Amino acid sequence: MTDPSAYPVQLVQPDGQRVLDREHAALVADVGPERLRQLYEDMVVARRIDTEATALQRQGQLGLWPPLLGQEAAQVGSAHALHADDYVFCSYREAAVAYCRGVDPASITRMWRGVAHSCWEPDEINMTNPAIVVGAQGLHATGYAYAAHLDGAEIAVVAYFGDGATSQGDIAEALGFAASWSAPVVFFCQNNQWAISEPVGVQSATPIARRAYGYGMPGVRVDGNDALGVLAVTRQAVARARAGGGPSFIEAITYRMGPHTTADDPARYRTAAELELWRRRDPIDRMRRLLEREQLWDGAFERRVRDRSDAVGELVRSATIGMPDPAPAALFDHVYATPHPLIDEERRQYTAYLEGVRS
């Protein structure tokens, strides 16, 4: 039997040609022309959100932004595999997943502008807000999934994280607990080759997906720049979780084309040659070539995607710039779910301080 972590699953090559893989192709056999086009459109729109937010940060409109450039297929492909009642625990880079889950693009930069504690209401789309603490969401996802399992809810919970997070103890604990208690979690690792300035080889001397075997769960590697391949393996893992089969681990091999965040300078630690190698594997170009090969590309569709991308980009820009500043005392809102005397006293003292400054 072939080790599923030895060779990444791939259904579409960089030139747009399909790969003969009967097992995984069967998992996306229902994906017809319109769904393929939707995958492409969502990736283009996600990239536009990302490039707009990056530009806004450079112009002083955002405090920080974690770019997802190059990881669109990993995020959009996996998001398309989820059911509405599945729950997503993201890291800080999954803006494309949020878009596919139905987040209003006008709210996607709220936290990064510093005008709110969060970007969206989690329960409206079954997805948490960006998690800044690296790897912490793995434990949160596992706890939520185990509770759902005890309640009899037949759902899957997905935890997104990067290759660097696999060196965090939180992820190790989450994997151990999920395997021991059959929690319905899909651990989705976006291996984008760099954890800030450290290459993935520093994180693991073996394919990251192989770690799953030590915990007693299946692990699979997939070409993370192949949206169709990602869709297939995520569907498989989600179906296993929803059916009570327990957790799975997916390693999506992709590349972070931009900086770790807008506070980072990747030119200090990686070469132009490496960047060019991965640019030739661009996930959006790959999907376009597939559409062209299968006679699904025409001028009308191209205009539709461009118009949608332009509209979302303009919405992100205008909404961000127009976000009102919160009242200073709002800092104390939502710290606890219920009233808390310590917070009430701190709010009172801070309000008195501000009044003294103004006077």
SS3 per-residue string spanning 35-68: HHHHHHHHHHHHHHHHHHHHHHHHCCCCCCCCCC
CA dihedral 107, 137, 71, 99 (to 10 degrees): -30
**Which amino acid appears at position 335 of this protein?**
V
How many other CB atoms are there within 10 angstroms of residue 132's CB atom? 12
Instruction: Give the residue among 352, 315, 309, 350 at the shortest CA–CA distance from 331.
Output: 350
Rg (CA), the chain: 21
Active site residue 144: no
Active site residue 256: yes
Q: What are phi and psi of 212, to 5 degrees?
A: -60, -35
Alpha carbon distances (Å) from 153 to 54, 242, 347: 39, 8, 40
Of 80, 101, 113, 256, catalytic: 256
The strand pair at 157-162 and 87-89 is best described as parallel
- The three-point CA angle 118-124-130 to 5° equals 30
| Contact present, 337 and 355 (Cβ < 8 Å) | no
Active site residue 280: no
Burial 297-336 (b: 16+ CB within 10 A, else e): beeeeeeebeeebeebbebbbebbeebeeeeeeeebeeee
Of 80, 221, 235, 260, catalytic: 260
Residues acting as catalytic residues: 256, 260, 269
